[in-house]
């Protein structure tokens, strides 16, 4: 059977996914529609799985398709869909371009370490935390690397270009302010990138077969694949070409053995084999070709992991243990709760479902979403929060809820969003310019979309200063968008800020009478 075209298909598909997903994370002008975004995030394993636990249904069934594919043909996800996988391929491709005689070599399976990572991820999931999953998920890591490291670089280039064109009075390419760069946001993705780069530069898909929990899981499943890649012993001439070409370093030429659980279905072996000796075989008869590694250990690990997997859908119950909502204080001075984006329901729902892939951070047109550090506790590191020092939530916008692939931010209608209270406004009179300087300001009220902050005549004791107006807050109308906090010009402590609601609430709509003044258009002007 001639199957060499499989490699070409794999390359084309993987590049389509890689380029599209990268574009999603780099898209600083919101040119790509949420629908386009969803096409390419639908099949991302971890976000889809997390979403499925919450909203079981076809909208979140992407990971089932991946599982199905693995049971048919092996780890197609790893070869073609996972953006981090393709990034590693690019690294090792570069290495082989620089060093001509760089070949892959068979490596013994590090199954124990690999399954340990998988079990770790599952244990954390069961305890209601996405901490380990988030640190290890290849898709989310790819997102963080792209958004935190490469997007700022792209913006710098864009801005250089924009300011060069500006000299020629061309304004069609516009500069974009780079907001919210912070140390922790840069460090973690950078470290991860260095590790992945080092592993892939020297040993191809080593990461996928020693660290990645998705790789471990799909590897387990591919032991039961209907069709497996195998080496036909009769055709093999022991030329060693397949071993040298194998990114997973899972082909042992001596034993003419291909470890399909580590194979990422790149089909390099098929393409290089001069005798067409590698191909898909019906794989249910597992006898003569298996062997090599410690079979018993594999079996044990497999059973353990399977048990963990079966418990996955139950995690939503356990999830509630995580970060219990604190009682909102009446007179807070220090912020007690972070603010989560509209559609995320509660801190608890959000932290239990967000894989910190940073797609919402990238999609947010006002950059109010920023990676957190310890706001959700150490276990919620890198999960986004609403950062009102950097920006404020646009009243009309619901993009984050449209792109979120894991269901941490659930779709929300614009009408519902406009009354969803993410937090409540608190006014600190002692910091306010009107009080300290006795001059008008009103930046907070100006920005308030619901008029939860309005301007009223200034009182000092019983005395009313007619010419001055002071902010007045009415919490019941506040949606916690942070516009007031962002606009407040006082430094370093704002005179008005939003205290996050641990559970989002519904704000009241301010009812006001329609102005019923009739204008006589024939009447003369009042001047």
Residues binding another protein (CB under 8 A): 29-30, 159, 162-163, 166, 169, 171-172, 174-177, 365-366, 394-397, 433, 437, 439-443, 445-451, 454-455, 467, 469, 487, 489-490, 510, 512-515, 517, 519, 521-522, 524-527
Query: If you ran DSSP here, which 8-state letter would residue 346 be given?
Result: B
Q: Which is nearer to another protein, 288 or 512 (CB)?
A: 512
Q: Dihedral of CA 376/378/383/384: which sign? A: positive
Distance CA 244, CA 251 (A): 9
Q: Which is nearer to another protein, 159 or 474 (CB)?
A: 159
Q: Which is nearer to another protein, 234 or 512 (CB)?
A: 512
75: tokens are 């780890």
Whether 291 contacts 252, CB under 8 Å:
no
Closest separation in Å from C-beta 360 to another protein = 15
Closest separation in Å from C-beta 396 to another protein = 5
| Residue spans of alpha helices (H) in 312-368 | 315-318, 347-353, 359-363
Whether 234 contacts 81, CB under 8 Å:
no
| Distance in Å from the first CA to the final CA of the chain | 92
How many H helices and E strands in the chain? 24, 10
Q: Which is nearer to another protein, 87 or 448 (CB)?
A: 448
SS (H, E, C) 183-219: HHHHHHHHHHHHHHHHHHHHHCCHHHHHCCHHHHHHH
Q: Which is nearer to another protein, 101 or 514 (CB)?
A: 514
Q: List, in order, residues 6 or more apart from 172 with CB less than 8 Å away.
A: 165
Distance CA 266, CA 350 (A): 36
Using CB atoms within 10 Å of the CB of residue 178, give its burial: 0 to 12 exposed, 13 to 18 middle, 19+ buried: middle
Distance CA 432, CA 507 (A): 25
Q: Kindly report whether the peptide bond that precedes residue 492 is cis, defined as omega within 30 degrees of 0.
A: yes
Closest separation in Å from C-beta 276 to another protein = 55
Q: Which is nearer to another protein, 354 or 397 (CB)?
A: 397
Q: Which is nearer to another protein, 166 or 232 (CB)?
A: 166
Beta strands in 440-506 (DSSP E): 453-460, 463-473, 496-506
Closest separation in Å from C-beta 24 to another protein = 18
Distance CA 168, CA 161 (A): 11
Closest separation in Å from C-beta 375 to another protein = 24
Closest separation in Å from C-beta 332 to another protein = 24
Closest separation in Å from C-beta 451 to another protein = 5
Closest separation in Å from C-beta 433 to another protein = 6
Distance CA 422, CA 480 (A): 5
Give bridge partners of residue 365 from the DSSP assignment.
none
Closest separation in Å from C-beta 470 to another protein = 11
Closest separation in Å from C-beta 448 to another protein = 7
Q: Which is nearer to another protein, 317 or 506 (CB)?
A: 506
Q: Which of 278, 163, 213 is nearest to 45 (CA)?
A: 213
Closest separation in Å from C-beta 227 to another protein = 49
Q: Which is nearer to another protein, 101 or 522 (CB)?
A: 522
Q: Which is nearer to another protein, 327 or 520 (CB)?
A: 520
Q: Which is nearer to another protein, 413 or 440 (CB)?
A: 440
Distance CA 119, CA 113 (A): 10
Residues in the chain: 527
Distance CA 444, CA 456 (A): 13
User: How many other CB atoms sit within 10 Å of the CB of residue 485?
Assistant: 23
Closest separation in Å from C-beta 303 to another protein = 52
Query: If you ran DSSP here, which 8-state letter would residue 313 be given?
Result: G
Q: Which is nearer to another protein, 379 or 441 (CB)?
A: 441
């Amino acid at each position: 059977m001639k199957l060499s075209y499989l490699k070409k298909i794999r390359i084309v598909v993987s590049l389509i996914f890689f380029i599209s997903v990268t574009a999603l994370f780099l898209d600083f002008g919101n040119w790509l529609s949420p629908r386009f975004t969803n096409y390419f995030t639908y099949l991302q394993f971890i976000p889809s799985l997390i979403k499925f636990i919450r909203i079981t249904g076809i909208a979140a069934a992407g990971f089932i398709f991946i599982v199905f594919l693995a049971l048919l043909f092996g780890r197609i996800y790893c070869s073609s869909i996972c953006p981090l996988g393709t990034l590693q391929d690019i690294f090792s491709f570069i290495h082989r371009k620089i060093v001509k005689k760089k070949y892959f070599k068979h490596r013994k399976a590090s199954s124990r370490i690999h399954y340990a990572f998988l079990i770790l991820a599952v244990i954390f999931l069961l305890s209601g935390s996405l901490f380990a999953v988030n640190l290890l998920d290849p898709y989310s890591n790819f997102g963080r690397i792209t958004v935190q490291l490469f997007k700022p670089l792209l913006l710098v280039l864009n801005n250089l270009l924009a300011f060069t064109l500006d000299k020629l009075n061309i304004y069609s390419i516009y500069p974009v302010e780079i907001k919210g760069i912070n140390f922790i946001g840069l460090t973690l993705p950078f470290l991860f990138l260095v590790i992945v780069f080092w592993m892939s530069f020297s040993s191809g898909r080593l990461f996928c077969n020693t660290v990645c929990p998705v790789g471990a899981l799909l590897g387990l499943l591919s032991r039961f694949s209907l069709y497996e890649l195998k080496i036909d012993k009769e055709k093999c001439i022991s030329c060693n070409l397949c071993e040298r070409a194998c990114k997973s370093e899972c082909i042992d030429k001596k034993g003419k053995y291909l470890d399909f659980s580590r194979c990422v279905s790149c089909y390099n072996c098929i393409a290089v084999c001069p005798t067409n000796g590698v191909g898909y075989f019906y794989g249910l008869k597992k006898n003569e070709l298996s062997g090599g590694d410690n079979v018993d250990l594999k079996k044990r690990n497999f059973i353990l992991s399977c048990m963990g997997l079966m418990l996955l859908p139950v995690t939503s119950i356990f999830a509630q243990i995580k970060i219990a909502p604190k009682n909102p204080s009446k007179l807070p001075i220090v912020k007690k709760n972070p603010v989560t984006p509209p559609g995320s329901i509660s801190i608890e729902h959000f932290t239990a479902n967000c894989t910190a892939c940073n797609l919402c951070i990238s999609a947010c047109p006002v950059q109010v979403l920023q990676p957190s550090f310890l706001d959700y506790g150490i276990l919620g590191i890198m999960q986004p929060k609403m950062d009102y020092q950097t920006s404020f939530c646009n009243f009309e916008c619901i993009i984050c809820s449209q792109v979120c692939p894991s269901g941490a931010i659930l779709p929300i209608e614009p009408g519902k969003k406009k009354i969803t209270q993410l937090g409540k406004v608190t006014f600190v009179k002692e910091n306010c310019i009107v009080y300290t300087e006795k001059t008008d300001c009103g930046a907070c009220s100006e920005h308030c979309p619901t008029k939860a902050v309005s301007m009223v005549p200034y009182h000092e004791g019983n005395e009313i200063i007619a010419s001055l107006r002071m902010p007045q807050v009415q919490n019941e109308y506040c949606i916690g968008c942070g516009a007031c906090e962002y606009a407040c010009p006082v430094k370093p402590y704002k005179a008005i800020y939003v205290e996050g609601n641990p559970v989002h609430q519904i704000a009241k709509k301010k009812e006001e009478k329609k102005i019923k003044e009739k204008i006589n258009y024939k009447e003369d002007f009042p001047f």
